[in-house]
């Protein structure tokens, strides 16, 4: 059996179901490039599960995981994912590969950033499509995520903005909220568009040092955006009276 398991945002968010499966598996792998813990170390996690895990990067998952997957025909193989198991399309592809090879699989969900968005004071039912703000590099400056943001804004929906991560680089790069906002505003300026966007920064969610900051100026002035990761941005759409009251009381 192949198990795709979400392990949450910190070690103790692992479910009892996931823990039992991991302890009884023949091999345990961890995908280490789409996110990371907001609090806690892998050593703490290994102590919790009483197992050693093999950490895999992007290339090892996307092009080198076939042998491990094939072994799931006779053995129990786990692939652990920070947050929830099916957030990244790479993980969906693994399920398609398993299906094609007649390998049985099971998905074990975990706590992810999407389970924390209501702490911002915004109604989670009013969120539109999630976007990922990508780093702008030489000869690569994508803008499609901004187009989706505009669509959400047009119909009054809030937008959860995931921020790019380059963990395969040395040193690794994790985009912070200030960088994400600057990329969005760079695109707006390039298009000569003016949008009165508000920003809410979610910093290190579920960790003891988590921060939720409302307003661009406060975000840019915060020292936490330099030190606490991972980070996410929410761009509110149309805010109703109750949301406005909650934001003012909880975030100010």
What pLDDT is recorded for position 170? 84
Confidence of residue 41 (pLDDT cuts 50, 70, 90): confident
pLDDT of residue 215: 96
| Confidence at 87, pLDDT banded by 50, 70, 90 | confident
Alpha-carbon distance of 84 to 113, in angstroms, equals 9
The predicted pLDDT at position 194 comes to 82
pLDDT tens digits for range 104-144 = 999 999 999 999 999 999 999 999 999 999 999 988 999 99
Residues 6+ apart with CB under 8 A from 196: none
State residue 195's pLDDT score. 77
The Cα-based distances of 117 to 130, 146, 232, 250 in angstroms read 12, 20, 10, 13
**All domains of the chain in start order, with CATH:** 2-111 (3.40.1010.10), 114-251 (3.30.950.10)
Helix axes 144-154, 177-190, angle to 10 degrees: 90
Nearest CA among 186, 198, 81 for reference residue 141: 186
Give the pLDDT band of residue 200 (cuts 50, 70, 90). Answer: very high
Kindly report the average pLDDT of the chain as a whole number: 94
> Which pLDDT value is given to residue 152?
98
> How far is it, in rounded angstroms, from Cα 96 to Cα 99?
5
DSSP readout, 14-42?
Answer: --HHHHHHHHT-SEEEEE-SS---SS--H
d(CA 148, CA 157): 11
Distance CA 248, CA 59 (A): 45
For residue range 141-191, list pLDDT tens digits in order: 999 999 999 999 999 999 999 999 998 888 899 999 999 999 999 999 999
pLDDT of residue 169: 85
Stated pTM of the model: 0.93
- Residue 215's region, left for phi above 0, alpha for psi from -120 to 50, else beta, is left
Say how far apart CA 23 and CA 48 lie, in whole Å: 10
* Sole residue written with tokens 């680089």: 169
Helix 42-49 and helix 16-23: axis angle, to 10°? Answer: 80
User: CA-CA distance, 238 to 156, in Å (whole number)?
Assistant: 5
Per-residue confidence (pLDDT) for residue 106, from 0 to 100 = 98
The pLDDT of residue 21: 97
Backbone angles phi, psi at 206, to 5 degrees: 80, -15
pLDDT (average), residues 10-34: 95
| Mean pLDDT to the nearest integer, 69-84 | 96
Task: Determine which helix (DSSP H) or strand (DSSP E) holds 162, and give its type and residue range.
Answer: strand 159-163
């Amino acid at each position: 059996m192949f198990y795709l398991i979400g392990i949450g945002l910190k070690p103790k968010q692992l479910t009892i179901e996931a823990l039992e499966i991991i302890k009884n598996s023949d091999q345990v792998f961890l995908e280490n490039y789409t996110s990371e813990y907001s609090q806690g170390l892998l050593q703490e996690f290994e102590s919790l599960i009483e197992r050693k895990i093999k950490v895999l990067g992007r290339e090892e998952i996307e092009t080198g995981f076939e042998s491990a997957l094939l072994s799931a025909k006779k053995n129990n193989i786990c692939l652990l994912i920070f947050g929830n198991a099916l957030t990244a399309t790479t993980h969906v592809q693994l399920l398609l590969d398993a299906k094609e090879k007649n390998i049985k699989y099971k998905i074990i969900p975990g706590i992810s950033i999407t389970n924390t968005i209501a702490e911002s004071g915004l109604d989670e039912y009013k969120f539109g499509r999630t976007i990922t703000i990508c780093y702008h590099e030489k000869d690569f400056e994508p803008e499609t995520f901004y187009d989706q943001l505009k669509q959400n804004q047009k119909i009054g929906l809030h937008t959860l903005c995931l921020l790019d991560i380059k963990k395969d680089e040395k040193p690794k790069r994790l985009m912070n909220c200030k960088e994400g906002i600057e990329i969005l505003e760079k695109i707006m300026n390039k298009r000569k568009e003016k949008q009165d966007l508000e920003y809410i920064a979610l910093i290190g969610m579920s960790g003891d040092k988590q921060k939720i900051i409302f307003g661009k100026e406060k975000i840019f002035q915060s020292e936490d955006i330099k030190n606490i990761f991972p980070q996410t941005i929410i761009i509110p759409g149309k805010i109703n009276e109750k949301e406005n009251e909650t934001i003012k009381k909880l975030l100010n």
